[in-house]
Amino acid sequence: MLYKIFVNFFLIFFSINLFAKEFPYGHTGTLHKYDLYTIIEQSTVRINIWQNYGEDNASTITGGTGIVLNHIDDDFYFLTNAHVLLKNHCFVEEYQNDECQFQKWEDGYTIFLDHPDSEFEYEVSNDNFTYWYEYDLAVIRLTISKEENDSKIFKPIPIGGTWYPLMDIYGAGFPAILGNYDSNYARMVFCSGDVKTMFLDEDELQQLSNYSIAHSCALAGGMSGGPLVDEYGYLLGINGLTGMSEYFEEQGKITYLDIKPANFNYAIDIWDLYNLEINDELGHYNPESIFYNYLPKLSFEYHEEFYESFIELYPDKLDKIKSLFF
């Protein structure tokens, strides 16, 4: 967990120098709230899991949210939580036991991705997404033609930098709340708040499955996989956990843990996705992989701290690191 400590080291420097940096995505400062809303709305997608899709007894049994991460020609890449796409997962301490197994949905269940303003919905097969076991992250690859996608939706969100406590943040998703679940979670709901703290200790991160950003942007079931962005419209993290822990302890060991709704919400740092790919445990640097070169390029100027931390951590992977920057 050395890299988490390293990120924290850069935190103070970055927050002081943020406004002196050149913004790489076409604007130069804090956005008007409507412009911020537009960026989030165009880059956030709905994910639903259907049972018996296309039949008279079809029903949506669960769902979540995703983020438009990048596109290369007609190939679009969406970022979400792994638990949004899996039937069974082993994230967060309450799910972790010797018998827990990761499991994809079997026949009879279908994953669909769409946007409220799109005329089309896209089936996500088990071969079209990849995920990690220690981080609640997954990436989907879909082919979407120019004829199917107008310029107003499926826009990749720009990648942000470092965050700090009390920083203003924003999010969105498709929650199962009153007024929304009878329409298959069609309404995109937005939230705002601030960063409350950062979890960097190894034991803390293990308990949280590496959800390191705690914040007050109100989340509800169905918003997992949605974006956590800063006031510039840049992606800081991926939302996916909400609640407070209620637990019982015997002889210094937690014997019962229950997650109650509200109070605190959590996101995985976008930094972690790049860190995972530098390690390349899933083989995405192989040109034969459908996820080859899927990550958005970072800016040497704006993401200087990312670059320096990666070089410090992985001096033997210089070529891989440089390939992530433009």
pLDDT, residue 3, reads 31
Greater pLDDT, 182 or 131: 131
CATH number at residue 147: 2.40.10.120
pLDDT, residue 198, reads 92
**For residue 129, pLDDT beyond 70:** yes
CA distance 325 to 297: 5
264 within a domain of the structure (yes/no)? yes
**For residue 256, pLDDT beyond 80:** no
pTM: 0.86
**For residue 24, pLDDT beyond 70:** no
* pLDDT tens digit sequence for 70-113: 999 999 999 999 999 999 888 876 556 667 889 999 989 999 99
H runs (alpha helix) in the chain: 2-17, 33-43, 82-85, 202-207, 270-279, 304-313, 318-323
Helices (H) and strands (E) in the chain, counts: 7, 15
12 within a domain of the structure (yes/no)? no
278 within a domain of the structure (yes/no)? no
* Average pLDDT of the residues in 231-239: 96
pLDDT, residue 148, reads 81
Strand order in the sheet with 121-124: 121-124, 109-114, 44-51, 59-72, 75-80, 138-143, 129-131
Counted domains in the chain: 1
**For residue 32, pLDDT beyond 50:** yes
pLDDT, residue 12, reads 33
289 within a domain of the structure (yes/no)? no
Torsion of CA 97, 126, 135, 102, to 10 degrees: 0
CA distance 30 to 233: 8
Distance, C-alpha 118 to centroid of its chain: 21
Domain span at residue 201 reads 28-270
Coil vs helix vs strand at 44: strand
187 within a domain of the structure (yes/no)? yes
Q: What share of the chain is helix, strand, coil (3-state, %, to 5)?
A: 25, 35, 40
Q: What is the DSSP string of 73-125?
A: TTEEEEEE-HHHHEEE---SGGG-STT---EE--TTEEEEEE-TT-S-EEEE-
DSSP class of 298 = B
Exposure string (b/e) for 214-240, b if CB count within 10 Å is 16 or more? bbebbbbbbbbbbbbbbebbbbbbbbb
150 within a domain of the structure (yes/no)? yes
pLDDT, residue 99, reads 76
> Hey, what are 211's tokens?
């959800």
Residue 303: name the closest of 238, 210, 235 by CA.
235
Under the phi-then-psi rule, with left for phi > 0, alpha for psi from -120 to 50, and beta for the rest, what region is 205?
alpha
CA distance 262 to 108: 33
* pLDDT tens digit sequence for 266-289: 999 999 999 999 998 899 999 999
